[in-house]
């Protein structure tokens, strides 16, 4: 029997979240969950697209949610490049790799939170809320 997860608690969030994820199914899930939570969501398939939309976006981007291991540009590089134009943005890494695996590749900044895949919509929503409230700002990626 398939387990039915309880609905994600809706909330009145207004923040803008930039999601960078190269796996389409994961990107769509994350973007859908955040939109249901009331966030203004911008989705990008890779770091290059993320930089382009972040430069054009008129307004505050409160949070970057980025996969760590991606082609062309890893999550840390995305955070670092965006920090100069979006210093007010906070950062949440998402990865299917363990902390140790990522740490060995030098792509994990210990100041930022990491959410391990797979995760439930509830876990994602809670983690996003926590990082927006208490996470580290992108300018500390420098």
Look up residue 119 and give its two tokens. Answer: 């995760």
Q: Which tens digit of pLDDT belongs to each residue from 97-114?
A: 766 666 555 556 667 888
Give the span between the Cα atoms of 91 and 75, in whole angstroms: 10
Q: Which tens digit of pLDDT belongs to each residue from 25-75?
A: 999 999 999 999 999 999 999 999 999 999 999 999 999 999 998 988 999
User: Model's pTM, two decimal places?
Assistant: 0.84
Domains along the chain?
16-141 (3.40.50.2300)
- In terms of average pLDDT, the best of 6-15, 89-98, 119-128 is 119-128
Give the span between the Cα atoms of 43 and 58, in whole angstroms: 15
**How far apart, in Å, do the first and last CA atoms of the chain sit?**
48
Longest CA–CA span in the chain (Å) reads 49
Give the span between the Cα atoms of 11 and 38, in whole angstroms: 7
Q: b or e along 104-124 (b: 16 or more beta carbons within 10 Å of the residue's beta carbon)?
A: eeebbbeebbbbeeebebeeb
């Amino acid at each position: 029997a398939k387990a039915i997860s309880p609905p994600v608690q809706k909330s009145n969030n207004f923040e803008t979240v930039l999601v960078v994820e190269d796996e389409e199914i994961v990107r769509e899930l994350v973007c859908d969950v955040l939109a249901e939570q009331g966030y203004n969501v911008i989705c990008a398939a890779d770091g290059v697209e993320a930089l382009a939309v972040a430069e054009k976006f008129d307004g505050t981007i409160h949070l970057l949610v980025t996969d760590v291991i991606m082609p062309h540009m890893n999550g840390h590089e995305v955070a670092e490049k965006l920090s100069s134009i979006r210093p007010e943005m906070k950062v949440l890494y998402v990865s299917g790799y363990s902390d140790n695996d990522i740490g060995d590749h030098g792509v994990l900044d210990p100041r930022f939170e990491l959410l391990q895949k797979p995760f439930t919509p509830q876990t994602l929503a809670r983690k996003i809320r926590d990082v927006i409230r208490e996470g580290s700002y992108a300018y500390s990626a420098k």
